[in-house]
Structure 1
Amino acid sequence: MSNKHPGDVSLLRILREKSKGTVCIFEKQDFFGIYDDDAILVAREIFKSEVGVKRIQIGEKRMAYISLGGGQYERVIRELLVVLRYRVQLYKSMNNQWLIKCTGTAGNMEDFEDIGDMGKEAANLISILLPRTRKIHGKVFAAIIDPSTLRISFAELEDDDKLSHLEQCIISSNAKEAIIVGDPPSDRLSLIKNILRRSNIMCTLHPKPSDKTHFVRLLKEEEKAKIAHLTDDLRCVLYGVADYIKLVQSGWASQFTLNDYSNGRFMRLDEGAVKAFELFFPFNAQGAMQATVYSTLNRCKTVAGQKLLKEWIARPLCDDRLIRERQDCIEGLVKSSSLLKALHSSHLDKLPDLSFLARRLLRKKARLLDCYRIAQSIRKLTPMRECVLQIANASPDCSSAIKDLLLLPIVWGCEQFKDLVECVDQIVDDSNVKANGLRIKASISPDLQKIANKLEEIDKRAKRSLSRMCDRLESSGIKLDTTSQHGYVYRVTMKEEKQIREASGIKIIDGGKGAGMRFRDSNLDSINEEFIEINAEYLRAQRELEETTVEICATYASALSRLSSLLAVVDVLTSLSIVAISASKVHIRPKILPLGSNEFNIKNGRHLVLDFLLPHYIPNDVNLTDTRALIVTGANMGGKSTYLRSTALISILAQMGAFVPAESAELSIVEAVHARVGASDRLSKGVSTFMSEMLECAKMIKSSTRDSLVVVDEIGRGTSTFDGMGLAWGITAELINNVGCRLLVATHFTELTEMNDPPRVRAIHMKVMMEDTLTLLYKAEGGVAEQSLGIHVARMVGMDEETLGLGQKEFDRLEMIEKLKKEEKDAIINATDDSIRDIILNSTTF
């Protein structure tokens, strides 16, 4: 098929020169076109079919082509940016040349915010500067811009050769895209790209900015003085993020605050921990969506609350005072469960995304409806305030924290926006929203009042027409409706459908079981045409007043963004409280002790996610107070990994300020949680399972301190038994003897339990019961597992007996050899000099 388009030369040049990771879309008159490899990508990854792909000839090139309607276009834009993380360039033809109309990335969707709810994404963006240096470690610089909270944060990090601190900053930033500013050394660039790839964050290279004014103009006037105290490298990374996103051009000038993004006040979580504990994504994401820590905790009602919850999970606190403040709030909310449910289901429910509305105001894209929605939201604060006040009064011991974190922000919102609500009430007419939409009150303007009088007269005529229609059809069930789509219509229930269809001079508009049948006659048709004309005149006349109203509301945009952030805290604390009272078993307030304290005890601890999924979860105790390391052995599927994960999760939840799934818990603050749980091949990078495991272990050892909690599961599996055992021993010994961290190790190498040195190092195992069949008890107790029971577990899951028989035979042979070796070794150790020669000559192993 041959198909000629205006600007063929221009189109082919764009496709030829576009960068990798960019999809080009071309806007036609009433549809959109995608060409060549981009068309195949969209067909396969989004529509999951190449049925709609055509082959066309442009110039001398034959290529794939796919056309999109409006709905398909919106879907493609959203999935390319949000899911697949591609850059999108939208082109429009002008004078036979294709010119860029819009550009979007995962971290900068401003140009596409009017597509569906794309504007609600407000993705964070992180910029990174890696100075050129001969050192394998040194300082790195980062800046994070958060459009939803109007906040720019900066970080200056003294990092190691694995960029561990930068990795933690990236994880906790909640960014969708990272820009690398300048020209970093190739080895460090490769390292940071790997970190970003593993974190599913889009990477973009960006030159050092020459224009510094973009950043300065973003800041509020009182924030600009802070720039003078920053180093040149910090300024460079800040200028870079502002230069790349170019928010100033979109109306964001003088809106942002500038903050230090300090890691010292928060627990560090490495990428291994985020993955192993399934904080945001399932460990093995296959098939249907699986439960995660975030999905289990997320009972938030607002978009800002959901975003803040992710931040709290990624950045648990290290300040025991702030942790206790959150705990006080949750304790007070849990004690007043009926008020908590009212706050959650009534007051917070259906609040719009205030940060999104604030951004629409800033970008001058807001409409009268947005102003009305803001005013409606502020009205909801008054009953919310009364509810929270009752909760505070019901819990005197917790009232101080409840007032600071929950009540005062709501009171501030009520006072701050009181004039805005009054303004909207005086100007906006919402008496007949269904019929006319929102309108400016006619009493505001003499011109509007004249038009309103005409509309009132038309309404009287329509009602008289209704009376005549009722008389004509001898029915009292006919109603008169006014809708924004159809204008005036008659409506009857579907029971009277037949009578209406048989009547003459009737025009059916539509019909259905829910809405009934809507229709008009010629008289109402004439009235309706006049109504539509006069109503349009009213909307034109009110346009200037509507713009003035929006301008007034726009002066509140910064305060509205702040209110969104404050209510997000209320939402998250409410969500965590709902989780605590929703669990089938008790969630308790853990006792938190300062960093460096010795205590770490959990009684009957459970795994947060499994606690909601499994009705009969077996709890376990954890004691890492006197013991610094626990070496856990036991059968496959016996609960070793769950024991490790549940312990780490309880620590993370506790430092978030949440209640934890346990009977009791007394926990010292840990400064970091590191994990090496499972591994997978990274074939695209030439990295095997074993190499991946070793890289993660090396990074974990370098990053851990005495105040870290380290979880290690089955290290040394990806190589030979003796190599694996030796490495597992060396890594475990290093963490116990030199790092001195709190350590949990799950292993099938029972030799590791020879490190057993109570109380400093203890061996525990997961109990089983062996009678006719194997029963896993999932209960931890002291001592070493007698055997791994792998063949018995294989029988449990249904492996055929012939295969099991072969496996058992080989197992018995190897076990016999090991037994003989041990007997001979013991004999040599205990033998006299004269008998050693005879033992060696008769040995089966020499």
Structure 2
Amino acid sequence: MNDFNLSSIEKHTPMMQQYLEIKAQAKDLILLYRLGDFYEMFFDDAIQASKLLNLTLTKRGFFNNKPIPMAGIPAISLDQYLAKFLDQGQSIAICEQIGEININNKGPIERKIVKIITPGTLTDDFLLPTKSDRIVLSIHNTKHSTGISYLNLANGEFYVLECEPHELETEIHRLDPAEILISENDKLNFSYKAKISKIASINFNIDNAMQELLNHFKINSINCFDIQNMKNAVCAAGALIKYVIQTQFTDLKHIKNIKIENNNEYVILNPETRKNLELTTSINGNNSTLFTIMDNCSTSMGSRTLKRWLQNPIRNIQILRKRQEAIDTLYQYICQNNKNQNFLKELRSFPDLERISSRISMKSAKPKEISSLRDAISLLPIISEQLINLNLTKKSSLIKSINNCFYIDNDLLILLNKSIVTEPSNNLKDGNIILSGFDQELDKLRDIYLNSHMHLSKIEEIEKKNTGINNLKIEFNRINGFYIEVSKGQIYKIPKHYVRKQTLKNTERYITEELKNLENTILASKDQAIRREKLLYENLLSEIDKYYDELSNCAKSLAQLDVLLNLAIHAYNNNWNLPIISEDNEIIIKDGRHPVVENNIECFIPNSCELKNDANRIYIITGPNMGGKSTYMRQVALITILAKIGSFIPAKTAIIGNIDRIFTRIGANDDISHNKSTFMVEMTEAALILNTSTKNSLVLMDEIGRGTSTYDGLSLAWSIVITLLTVNKSLTLFSTHYFELTEITKKYSHITNVHLTISEESDNITFLHEVKKGICNKSYGIHVAKTAGIPQEVINIATKKLKYLENKKNNATYKSIINNIINLKLDDITGLEALNILNNFKIQIKNINKKI
């Protein structure tokens, strides 16, 4: 509405005036304005929606002599269009007709916004992805500290944390929000892609934010959450809760507290690491990620919990060991009971209790969800009995605590059994939700409209008896409603209280006051029954909500059990083993495998790795292109992450130490949008590693320095390795094609050379993908180029040029050796020194001969 202002609103029709007033409330949201069987959009909203959803753009009326753009969607198809809007990152305001049609009222029907839907505030089942959370996150940024608050509205979990400003991007990628709230005055830029919603800066004011929290939780002080000293986080949390309340138009009782999150609890993975390791998102879009190959959970709750674990590997050894104990308990049961993976099969029948519980609290749960809740509660004793009877609760303290959450007050099941029909309709307007016998008034109303023929037959018999007219009939049509029909030969018997309704050729039609009252009762009874059923259902939701804490804890425990069982079955099916969790700075892996790659190839070659802070701290990895260097490095990181969620791992044995961060500098990508070359991106990521990695960090660096000249790149790679060794003291895997870099091991004992092996016959090479100690002094780049289909004439030219360059280099080396011999002062060296010098010359000449 670029050419519209509210001062000219009176120039419009009453309906359009109403629309514009409501649109002013919706502000920059697209307003879906209910008009009969359609939701209509006007002005700029219509133009934008027509482009986003490929809708037909029409017009309705004129403004300033220009047609008003209009686009609409059928009300019956609202769900699918909302999903399309959200896929485009668009927020929507839904305006419904809330008033009754009144023929005496010439104005428009009363309407108002009943719900605002944004990407981060979804609760409806049809809009939420089953295996992912949809989080809304709020940021309050100051010079020295950043406050973060985030909320999962679908389960009521509300968190705050604070971090340093440079850590913000890492935290955003870890939390993976669908929507980010910032102040309208902030100029924050993120590489992370999400809906950015700018809200009034006054909402982040500490006093306003604190008051919003006090109002929501109905408390006098936030000290009960121990967040009084986290001022930036409180600002973010207050702004967030106000925003969410404004979108939902309902009580958010399921948001019961605020929890403090400390990012030191987790193994920190920066955005590049998450991307390179493909934990939950594939780089090339083929959906082959660590999550997808490991997720065979029986419930959607379990899948989401598994994803959270993978996105947030933890450092707490006690929690890890409890998870390990639980997974191992389930694993041993499978091994000892004829590979039985079908126990606890009842988990597959559980609905999404986590989200259903929240929707009950928000009064938006559908009747079918309530019936599924009833059926789920009935299954809980079966699950519990299995855990107890198989002695699983005795062998695992975590399984025992999980099982304790499966005891739901039996009064809830009694209530559900006597109130909800076996197969309810999913829409309140259709009725058939409340069980007969639950409410006398509802039963009476149902009896009237369901058994109306019986009531009419009874009246008909009474009237026949009273009048003596044996052919008297009571009939119905849409024009006259119910009426008494009498043949003209019998009209002399008609009583005085009969009122003539219609005269036909052979019959007369009459009504009576009793019949008219019954007609009104019958016709109104169905509507009254549906309204009564709706009221009873809403009251039922309130009663069920009293058990919210029990249901929520039960849902979380079911999800956790589902994940633990899933990990045990995956370990059994894929020959994974239980790692040792150590408190030392070490990663020792025997015959490790890449958990994703091994699922996609027939035979995976396992490899070992031994990194210890007081021994082999750095591996310099050489080998041909396509030889498996990157796969080897990634598998070490992925095995570490799996150990840090408590899982078994794809290795024969492993000891995983106290890792605080994992960094990856893998791949070559420029960043055109931020005017950064490939080399600049490489150096920026290297700087982050050097500035933030510690002795407890795992660092993966792949071919650093290749984006510049050979000598510049080699010099940088050399200095980075030394810094990681002597300053950061991080556990490091460093792959390179700079063979000169392997010489660094002669000076530093904590660095080891390893290489990926090949088999070379004639002009053909075979990648063996086996890691061995020592160096590989050739890159075999021309061989790989030939395999990739580079024309033979190009390969021939490249081979000649390579030989020329190698001979040139070898000649220079020979000259250097000769000059060194000439310059030797034999009188000044001992016999032992002379032997060492000769041995070095011998090694240099031997290396030259290997290349020839």
The gaps in structure 1 that reach 5 residues or longer are 462-529, 835-846
Q: Which residue of 1 aligns with 2:611?
A: 624
**TM-score if structure 2 supplies the norm length?**
0.76
Contact 1:141–1:154 (8 Å) recurs in 2:
yes
Contact 2:89–2:119 (8 Å) recurs in 1:
yes
Spell out the pairing of 1:120-269 with structure 2 (5 A cutoff): 123-131=134-142, 133=143, 138-157=144-163, 159=164, 163-164=166-167, 166-181=168-183, 183=185, 189-190=187-188, 193-194=189-190, 197-198=191-192, 200=194, 202=196, 204=198, 206-207=200-201, 208-209=204-205, 210=208, 212-219=210-217, 224-226=222-224, 230-231=228-229, 232-246=231-245, 249-253=249-253, 255-269=255-269
Matching of residue 720 in structure 1 with residue 709 in structure 2: yes
Tell me the CA shift for residue 742 of structure 1. Answer: 0.1
Spell out the pairing of 1:274-353 with structure 2 (5 A cutoff): 274-285=274-285, 289-337=286-334, 341-343=341-343, 346-353=345-352
- Counterpart code for 2:178: K
The structure-2 alpha-carbon separation of the partners of 1:747 and 1:220, relative to structure 1 and needing over 3 Å to count, comes to: farther
The structure-2 alpha-carbon separation of the partners of 1:810 and 1:382, relative to structure 1 and needing over 3 Å to count, comes to: same
Pick from 675, 679, 684 the counterpart of residue 695 of structure 1: 684
Q: Which residue of 1 aligns with 2:658?
A: 669
Q: What CA distance in whole angstroms lies between the structure 1 residues aligned with 2:546 and 2:609?
A: 54
Q: Which residue of 2 aligns with 1:425?
A: 417
Q: What CA distance in whole angstroms lies between the structure 2 residues aligned with 1:364 and 1:265?
A: 35
1:742-786 CA distance string (max 9 Å, x none): 000112122221222575101111101111411111111111112
Q: What CA distance in whole angstroms lies between the structure 2 residues aligned with 1:692 and 1:319?
A: 33
Pick from 585, 589, 598 the counterpart of residue 602 of structure 1: 589
1:778-801 CA distance string (max 9 Å, x none): 111111112100110121232221
Tell me the CA shift for residue 253 of structure 1. Answer: 4.0
Secondary structure in 1 matching 2:179:
strand
Secondary structure in 2 matching 1:627:
coil
Tell me the CA shift for residue 282 of structure 1. Answer: 0.9
Secondary structure in 2 matching 1:828:
helix
1:775-830 CA distance string (max 9 Å, x none): 11111111111210011012123222122222223322322332233233333333
Q: What CA distance in whole angstroms lies between the structure 2 residues aligned with 1:444 and 1:55?
A: 51
- Counterpart code for 1:309: L
Contact 1:215–1:242 (8 Å) recurs in 2:
yes
Tell me the CA shift for residue 275 of structure 1. Answer: 0.5
Contact 2:43–2:70 (8 Å) recurs in 1:
yes
Tell me the CA shift for residue 667 of structure 1. Answer: 1.6
Tell me the CA shift for residue 617 of structure 1. Answer: 0.9
Q: What CA distance in whole angstroms lies between the structure 2 residues aligned with 1:823 and 1:239?
A: 74
Q: What CA distance in whole angstroms lies between the structure 1 residues aligned with 2:438 and 2:224?
A: 46
Matching of residue 399 in structure 1 with residue 396 in structure 2: yes
Tell me the CA shift for residue 663 of structure 1. Answer: 0.9
Matching of residue 409 in structure 1 with residue 405 in structure 2: yes
Secondary structure in 2 matching 1:799:
coil
Spell out the pairing of 1:629-648 with structure 2 (5 A cutoff): 629-648=618-637
Spell out the pairing of 1:561-576 with structure 2 (5 A cutoff): 561-576=552-567
Moved more, 550-559 or 612-621: 550-559
- Counterpart code for 1:425: N
Q: Which residue of 1 aligns with 2:638?
A: 649
Pick from 544, 547, 550 the counterpart of residue 559 of structure 1: 550
Secondary structure in 2 matching 1:659:
coil
Pick from 76, 85, 89 the counterpart of residue 80 of structure 1: 85
Tell me the CA shift for residue 300 of structure 1. Answer: 2.3
Q: Which residue of 2 aligns with 1:681?
A: 670
Tell me the CA shift for residue 737 of structure 1. Answer: 1.7
Matching of residue 760 in structure 1 with residue 750 in structure 2: yes
Tell me the CA shift for residue 219 of structure 1. Answer: 3.0
The structure-2 alpha-carbon separation of the partners of 1:417 and 1:767, relative to structure 1 and needing over 3 Å to count, comes to: same
The structure-2 alpha-carbon separation of the partners of 1:97 and 1:549, relative to structure 1 and needing over 3 Å to count, comes to: closer
The structure-2 alpha-carbon separation of the partners of 1:60 and 1:711, relative to structure 1 and needing over 3 Å to count, comes to: farther
The gaps in structure 2 that reach 5 residues or longer are 1-10, 98-106, 456-520, 826-852
Secondary structure in 1 matching 2:609:
strand
Q: What CA distance in whole angstroms lies between the structure 1 residues aligned with 2:129 and 2:284?
A: 28
Tell me the CA shift for residue 426 of structure 1. Answer: 2.6
The structure-2 alpha-carbon separation of the partners of 1:234 and 1:784, relative to structure 1 and needing over 3 Å to count, comes to: same
- Counterpart code for 1:171: H
- Counterpart code for 2:623: G
Moved more, 320-329 or 244-253: 244-253
Tell me the CA shift for residue 628 of structure 1. Answer: 0.4
Tell me the CA shift for residue 266 of structure 1. Answer: 1.7
Pick from 781, 797, 822 the counterpart of residue 788 of structure 2: 797
Secondary structure in 2 matching 1:153:
strand
Tell me the CA shift for residue 342 of structure 1. Answer: 3.1
The structure-2 alpha-carbon separation of the partners of 1:449 and 1:713, relative to structure 1 and needing over 3 Å to count, comes to: same
Q: What CA distance in whole angstroms lies between the structure 1 residues aligned with 2:709 and 2:139?
A: 40
Q: Which residue of 1 aligns with 2:3?
A: none
The structure-2 alpha-carbon separation of the partners of 1:9 and 1:747, relative to structure 1 and needing over 3 Å to count, comes to: farther
Q: What CA distance in whole angstroms lies between the structure 2 residues aligned with 1:127 and 1:730?
A: 40
Pick from 826, 835, 841 the counterpart of residue 817 of structure 2: 826
Tell me the CA shift for residue 589 of structure 1. Answer: 0.4
Secondary structure in 1 matching 2:181:
strand
1:383-415 CA distance string (max 9 Å, x none): 11122224434x96x3333213x32222xxx2x
Tell me the CA shift for residue 149 of structure 1. Answer: 3.6
1:307-342 CA distance string (max 9 Å, x none): 222221121111212111000111111122269733
Q: Which residue of 2 aligns with 1:783?
A: 774
Q: Which residue of 1 aligns with 2:693?
A: 704
Contact 2:399–2:561 (8 Å) recurs in 1:
no
The structure-2 alpha-carbon separation of the partners of 1:237 and 1:431, relative to structure 1 and needing over 3 Å to count, comes to: closer
Q: Which residue of 2 aligns with 1:548?
A: 539
- Counterpart code for 2:404: L
- Counterpart code for 2:138: S
% identity of equivalent residues: 24
1:668-715 CA distance string (max 9 Å, x none): 120111111114222222222222222111112111100000111122
The structure-2 alpha-carbon separation of the partners of 1:645 and 1:211, relative to structure 1 and needing over 3 Å to count, comes to: closer
The structure-2 alpha-carbon separation of the partners of 1:8 and 1:803, relative to structure 1 and needing over 3 Å to count, comes to: farther
Q: What CA distance in whole angstroms lies between the structure 2 residues aligned with 1:79 and 1:542?
A: 33
Contact 2:159–2:258 (8 Å) recurs in 1:
yes
Q: What CA distance in whole angstroms lies between the structure 1 residues aligned with 2:18 and 2:449?
A: 53
Q: What CA distance in whole angstroms lies between the structure 1 residues aligned with 2:720 and 2:626?
A: 24
Q: What CA distance in whole angstroms lies between the structure 1 residues aligned with 2:323 and 2:224?
A: 30
Q: Which residue of 2 aligns with 1:660?
A: 649
Q: Which residue of 2 aligns with 1:486?
A: none
Contact 2:367–2:425 (8 Å) recurs in 1:
no
- Counterpart code for 2:672: L
Pick from 574, 580, 591 the counterpart of residue 571 of structure 2: 580
- Counterpart code for 2:410: K
Is the radius of gyration larger for structure 1 or structure 2?
2
The structure-2 alpha-carbon separation of the partners of 1:807 and 1:562, relative to structure 1 and needing over 3 Å to count, comes to: same
The structure-2 alpha-carbon separation of the partners of 1:445 and 1:613, relative to structure 1 and needing over 3 Å to count, comes to: same
